[in-house]
Amino acid sequence: MSVPFTSSEARESTNRPGSGPVCFSGSGLAASLAPSCMAWVALGANLGDASRVLGQAAHAVAALPWTQCLAGSSLYRTRPVDSSGPDYTNAVIAVQTALGPLELLHALQAIELAHGRERPYRNAPRTLDLDVIWHGGLVRDSIELTLPHPRYLQRAFVIEPLAEVVEVLAGRFAASGKTLAGAGFAPWAPEWPDFTVRQALAEAQGIEKTAEIWLETASISHSQP
C-alpha cells in the first residue's frame, strides 16, 4: 500500500468538507493535500490473536496513502452478532483521508487478505473484518458499498466505540479552543442513538469494554479505558 491511489475518486471534491490536516499525533498529511474528509472504520476479529491483529490493522490503515488515523477506541468484547464462532474483539478508528470511499474499501479489503481473511460462507468467523462505517457524510447505495453502513445503528460493538472516539476528539478540540466543524470537518461523525437506546443494545448483545492496550505507538492516539 505504498503507492498512492490515482483514480479520479481520490481527487473528487464532492462531499469532501475539509481540506487541511488535523494532526493529533504522527506525521500527518501533506499540507498540500487534496480535499480530505473524516471517515470511520470498524475493526473486528474472533479468530487467532484478535487484539494483536486489530492493532496491526489500525497501523496499516494509518500507513495508507493520504490517510491519517486520528484516534482509536478501547477494545470491546461481544458475542457474535449475525455471525458465529467465539466472542469478537471490536474497535473503531477515526481517520482523515483523501481516499475516496471505494478506494478506502479496497485498501481495507487488501489489509484483511494480508491477515488471512477468508469467506467460506456468509458471516463465517473472521481473522479480521474491516468496515467503512461512514465517509464524509456521503450517502450511497451500491452493490459494492452502502454508506452509511446499513446496520451500524443496530450494533453495539460499533456504536459504543464510536461514541467513545467522538467524545475524545471533541474534547481535544474543545481543550484547544477549536471545534471539528471549525477545522473544516462538517459533517465529521455519523449519528448514534441516545444513551438509553445504546444501553439496551449493549445489554442485549453482551458487549464488554476491555482494558487491553492495543495501540502502542505515537502514530495513533489511543482512547484509554
Q: Is 194 a catalytic residue?
A: no
- Of 11, 117, 151, 194, catalytic: 117
DSSP 51: H
What is the grid cell recorded at 176? 484547544
DSSP annotation string for 144-167? S-EES-TTGGG-HHHHHHHHHHHH
Please, which residues have CB within 8 angstroms of residue 129's CB and are 6 or more apart in sequence? 42, 43, 44, 45, 112, 117
Q: Is 131 a catalytic residue?
A: yes
Place of cell 445504546: 198
- Of 16, 77, 129, 155, catalytic: 129
Q: Is 49 a catalytic residue?
A: no
**113, 75, 94, 101: which is closest to 25 by C-alpha?**
94
Burial grade of 4 (CB within 10 A; 0-12, 13-18, 19 or more): exposed
- Of 126, 140, 141, 151, catalytic: 126
Q: Is 126 a catalytic residue?
A: yes
- Of 49, 131, 140, 198, catalytic: 131
Catalytic sites, residue numbers: 117, 126, 129, 131
